[in-house]
Amino acid sequence: MNPFELLKDIDAMKKQLGNVQNDLAGISATGSSGGNIVNVTLNGKFEITNLRLDPVCVDPRDIKMLEDLIVAAHHDAMSKIQEEIKNKFGPMLGGLQGLV
């Protein structure tokens, strides 16, 4: 293969990767737990962009329950983001899907 063609392909892949990274920032999903009393919203980069707690779940005598609800809502949001990434970018990622 011509080395110049290879460089052209690499440049195209870099551009495509940059576009994917920009698109990931625009994806978001909200996970919930405890009958929707805890909600966690993540963006496509798996960063928490919002956390909403219903006052009913804030009991200083049961911090462990609140911690568990937050973790469960975060897990739910992560699963939704992963599914959306697979649906949106799956064909583009090809064999890299196991990493998402």
> Would you state the pLDDT for residue 95?
53
Neighbours of 97 (CB within 10 A): 13
The low-confidence residues of the chain, meaning pLDDT below 70, are 1, 92-100
CA 86/CA 7 separation, integer angstroms: 28
Interval 14-28: pLDDT, tens: 777 777 777 887 899
Burial of 43-55, coded b for 16+ CB within 10 Å and e otherwise, reads bbeeeeeeeebee
pTM of the predicted structure, to 2 decimals: 0.72
